[in-house]
C-alpha cells in the first residue's frame, strides 16, 4: 500500500534512477573493439587468383606483389595471399612460412585481431606441414591468446587441436586427448560452413593418428572405430546444414568406410573388413594414386602380400617424408616383402625407415620445442585463472551494487517515514557486526579446509603422481577445492610453482630412489614405474631437474 502513496511516487523514480546509475557504473557490458576489415578487391578474389595460378604459379605471385606496389591491396593482404597460394600450389612450405611472418609484421596488433588469428592459424598449419613443430606451437600460443581474449571459441579450440597434433608427432600420447577434447569444444560452437569443414578435417586427422598406432598396439583399433562413428555423425550434420558440401562429405565417407575395413581386419574380423573394403571401392574416390597407397594398409593387415607388392610396384614410394604416418606405410611394405621372401627389397625399405626415424628424432629434439609445449600448458592454466579472476571481480562489483542499493533504499525509506527506531550509527554498527560474523565464519571454514586437506598428504601420501593420467582437475576434485585454491597451495610449497612442474619433480624424486635402490634397473623400467608416458619425456624431464641423463646418473651411482 505504501508504494501507492502520493508522497512516495516522486521518490520512487529517484530510487529507480539511483539503481540504474549504479548498475551502469559497475555492470557495464565490456565492449569488444570494432574490427576494421579490409574491403575485398574483386581483382584479387580466390577465383581470380586460382585461375592465374592454374596457368602459371609464378605469374600469380608477381600479380599479387604488383598489386601491393600499386596500392591496390595492403602489405598484409599481399603477403597473406602469397602464403596461401604458395602453401596450396607448391611444396615450398618454408617460403609460405616467410610470407606468413611478413603478413604478421604488417598488421596492427591492436585493431586487426581477426586478421591476426587467420594468419597465425595458417602459419601454424604450414609449419606443421613442414614438420617445424617449434614454429607451429609458437604460432598456436599467440593465436590462442588472441582468440581467447576476443571470445573466438572455435578458433581457440582449433589452436588447441594443432598443439595436440604437434605433441602427438613429438611422441607424446597425451596429444591424442588434447585433440579429442578440442574437437568436442569446436563441435559445440561450429556454425559456419568453413568451421564445419575444419571440424570434419580434425576428426579425420584424428582417425589417421589412431590408424597409425594400430599396427603397434591392436587395442587402438577400438578407439579408431569409436572415432569413425564420431566422424560419420559430424559429416552427416555438415551435409544436413550445408547440402552444397556434399562432395566434400562423400569424400570423408569414403575415408570412414575404408578405415573401418582396416580396423576390422586388424581386429581379426575379416568378414566385416571385406564388406567395408568392397563398399569403399564402389566410390570414385578409391582410384586416385593417393588412395592406392592407402589400400596397402588394408591388404597388409589381411595378409594379401600379392596385392601389396602389386600396388607398390605400380605406384612406388618416391622420396622420403619426415612423418610418422609415412614411416608406418613403409613398415607395412617391409613386412610384406620380407614375408614374400624378397629380402633385398625388404632391407632397402628397412634402411629408409631407419633414416626417417633418425630425422624424426632430430625434429623432436629441436631446440625450444619441449619448452614451447610446456609454455602452452602453462598458458591454459593462466587463461583459466584470468577468466576466474574476471568473473570474481564482476561478482564483487554486483554484490557492491546490491549492497549500495539496499543501503540507499533503507536510508530513503527512513527519511520518508521519519521514524527511526535506532540511529544510523547503531544500524551501521549492527551491520558491521553481521558482516564481521560472516567474514569470521568464512575464514574459519577456509582454515579448517586447509588444515584437513593437505596437498602433500594427498598427492605424495597416496602416490598419485605415479598415475599417468593425473591432472590438475583430478587433484582439485580429490581435494574438494577450486583450481584457484590449488594454485595457492602450490605457491605455499614454492612461489610460482606450476602443477606440471610439481608432479614432474615428485616423479623424478621417485625415479632417483628407484635407481639408488635397484642399481641394475633399466631406464625404460624407471620411466614406466615413475609415471611417465614415454621414455623421451622421462629423459627430458630427468635432465632438466638433475642436469644429467638417466644413463649417466645410473653409471655414477
The set of cell numbers assigned to 106 is: 604488417
Q: Are 142 and 335 in contact (CB under 8 A)?
A: no
Write the CA distances from 479 to 246, 280, 382, 466, 468, integer angstroms. Answer: 50, 51, 21, 17, 19
Looking at residues 477-485, what average pLDDT do you find? 79
Residue 419 has pLDDT above 60, yes or no: no
Q: Distance between the two ends of the chain, CA-based, in angstroms?
A: 88
Residue 484 has pLDDT above 50, yes or no: yes
Q: What is the pLDDT of residue 363?
A: 58
DSSP code of residue 42: G
What are the pLDDT digits (tens) for 322-341? Answer: 555 566 677 777 777 777 78
Q: Are 542 and 553 in contact (CB under 8 A)?
A: yes
Looking at residues 426-449, what average pLDDT do you find? 60
Q: What is the pLDDT of residue 537?
A: 83
The set of cell numbers assigned to 507 is: 616423479
Looking at residues 113-132, what average pLDDT do you find? 90
Q: Which of 221, 196, 197 has its CA nearest to residue 210? A: 221
The set of cell numbers assigned to 27 is: 555492470
Spell out the domains of the chain, with CATH numbers in brackets. 433-557 (1.10.10.60)
Q: Which of 156, 553, 165 has its CA nearest to residue 383? A: 156
The set of cell numbers assigned to 194 is: 568453413
Q: What is the pLDDT of residue 491?
A: 80
Write the CA distances from 252 to 182, 235, 296, 525, integer angstroms. Answer: 20, 7, 19, 41
pLDDT band per the 50, 70, 90 thresholds, residue 110: low
Q: What is the pLDDT of residue 222?
A: 87
Residue 546 has pLDDT above 50, yes or no: yes
pLDDT band per the 50, 70, 90 thresholds, residue 32: very low
Residue 89 has pLDDT above 90, yes or no: no
Looking at residues 41-61, what average pLDDT do you find? 84
Q: What's the longest Cα–Cα distance across the chain?
A: 107
Residue 415 has pLDDT above 50, yes or no: yes
What are the pLDDT digits (tens) for 504-513? Answer: 888 888 888 8
User: What percentage of the chain exceeds 90 in pLDDT?
Assistant: 21
Q: What is the pLDDT of residue 384?
A: 61
Identify the residue with better confidence: 421 or 57. 57
Residue 322 half-sphere exposure, CB side, CA atoms within 13 Å? 16
Q: Are 346 and 112 in contact (CB under 8 A)?
A: no
Residue 138 has pLDDT above 70, yes or no: yes
pLDDT band per the 50, 70, 90 thresholds, residue 500: confident
Q: What is the pLDDT of residue 3?
A: 39
Residue 103 half-sphere exposure, CB side, CA atoms within 13 Å? 30
pTM score of the predicted model:
0.57
pLDDT band per the 50, 70, 90 thresholds, residue 34: very low
Q: Which of 302, 308, 298, 360 has its CA nearest to residue 334? A: 308
* Least confident piece of the model among 26-40, 138-152, 185-199: 26-40
Amino acid at each position: 500500500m505504501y508504494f501507492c502513496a502520493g508522497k512516495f511516487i516522486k521518490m520512487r523514480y529517484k530510487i529507480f534512477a539511483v539503481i540504474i546509475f549504479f548498475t551502469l557504473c559497475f555492470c557495464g557490458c565490456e565492449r569488444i573493439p570494432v574490427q576494421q576489415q579490409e574491403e575485398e578487391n574483386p581483382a584479387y578474389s580466390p577465383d581470380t587468383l586460382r585461375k592465374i595460378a592454374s596457368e602459371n604459379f609464378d605469374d600469380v605471385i608477381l600479380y599479387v606483389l604488383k598489386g601491393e606496389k600499386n596500392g591496390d591491396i595492403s602489405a598484409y593482404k599481399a603477403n597473406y595471399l602469397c602464403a596461401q597460394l604458395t602453401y596450396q600450389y607448391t611444396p615450398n612450405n618454408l617460403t609460405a612460412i616467410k610470407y606468413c611472418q611478413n603478413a604478421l609484421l604488417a598488421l596492427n596488433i591492436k585493431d586487426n585481431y581477426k586478421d591476426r588469428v587467420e594468419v597465425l592459424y595458417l602459419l601454424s598449419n604450414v609449419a606443421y606441414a613442414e614438420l617445424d613443430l617449434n614454429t607451429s606451437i609458437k604460432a598456436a600460443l599467440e593465436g590462442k591468446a588472441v582468440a581467447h581474449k576476443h571470445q573466438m571459441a572455435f578458433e581457440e579450440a582449433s589452436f588447441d587441436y594443432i598443439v595436440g597434433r604437434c605433441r602427438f608427432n613429438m611422441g607424446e600420447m597425451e596429444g591424442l586427448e588434447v585433440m579429442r577434447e578440442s574437437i568436442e569444444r569446436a563441435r559445440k560452437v561450429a556454425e559456419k560452413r568453413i568451421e564445419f569443414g575444419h571440424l570434419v578435417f580434425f576428426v579425420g586427422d584424428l582417425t589417421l593418428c589412431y590408424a597409425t598406432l594400430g599396427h603397434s598396439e591392436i587395442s587402438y583399433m577400438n578407439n579408431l572405430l569409436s572415432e569413425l562413428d564420431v566422424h560419420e555423425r559430424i559429416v552427416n550434420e555438415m551435409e544436413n546444414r550445408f547440402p552444397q558440401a556434399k562432395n566434400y562429405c562423400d569424400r570423408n565417407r569414403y575415408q570412414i568406410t575404408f578405415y573401418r575395413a582396416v580396423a576390422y581386419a586388424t581386429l581379426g574380423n575379416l568378414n566385416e573388413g571385406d564388406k567395408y573394403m568392397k563398399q569403399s571401392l564402389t566410390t570414385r574416390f578409391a582410384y586416385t594414386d593417393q588412395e592406392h597407397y592407402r589400400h596397402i594398409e588394408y591388404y597388409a593387415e589381411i595378409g594379401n602380400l600379392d596385392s601389396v607388392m602389386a600396388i607398390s610396384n605400380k605406384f612406388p614410394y618416391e622420396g622420403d617424408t619426415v612423418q610418422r604416418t609415412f614411416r608406418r606405410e613403409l613398415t607395412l611394405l617391409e613386412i610384406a616383402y620380407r614375408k614374400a621372401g624378397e629380402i633385398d627389397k625388404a632391407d632397402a625399405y628397412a634402411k629408409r625407415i631407419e633414416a626417417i626415424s633418425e630425422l624424426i628424432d632430430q625434429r623432436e629434439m629441436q631446440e625450444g620445442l619441449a619448452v614451447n609445449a610446456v609454455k602452452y600448458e602453462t598458458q591454459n592454466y593462466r587463461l583459466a585463472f584470468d577468466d576466474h579472476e574476471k568473473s570474481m571481480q564482476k561478482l564483487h562489483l554486483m554484490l557492491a551494487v546490491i549492497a549500495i542499493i539496499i543501503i540507499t533504499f533503507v536510508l530513503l525509506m527512513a527519511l520518508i517515514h521519519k521514524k527511526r527506531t535506532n540511529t544510523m550509527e547503531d544500524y551501521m554498527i549492527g551491520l558491521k557486526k553481521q558482516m564481521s560474523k560472516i567474514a569470521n565464519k568464512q575464514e574459519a571454514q577456509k582454515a579448517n579446509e586447509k588444515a584437513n586437506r593437505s596437498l602433500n598428504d594427498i598427492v605424495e601420501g597416496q602416490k598419485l603422481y605415479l598415475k599417468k593420467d593425473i591432472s590438475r582437475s583430478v587433484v582439485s576434485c580429490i581435494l574438494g577445492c577450486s583450481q584457484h585454491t590449488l594454485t595457492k597451495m602450490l605457491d605455499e610449497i614454492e612461489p610460482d610453482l606450476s602443477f606440471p612442474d610439481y608432479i614432474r619433480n615428485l616423479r623424478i624424486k621417485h625415479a632417483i630412489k628407484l635407481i639408488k635402490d635397484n642399481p641394475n634397473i633399466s631406464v625404460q623400467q624407471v620411466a614406466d614405474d615413475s609415471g611417465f608416458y614415454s621414455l623421451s619425456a622421462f629423459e627430458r624431464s630427468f635432465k632438466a631437474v638433475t642436469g644429467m641423463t638417466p644413463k649417466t646418473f645410473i653409471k655414477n651411482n
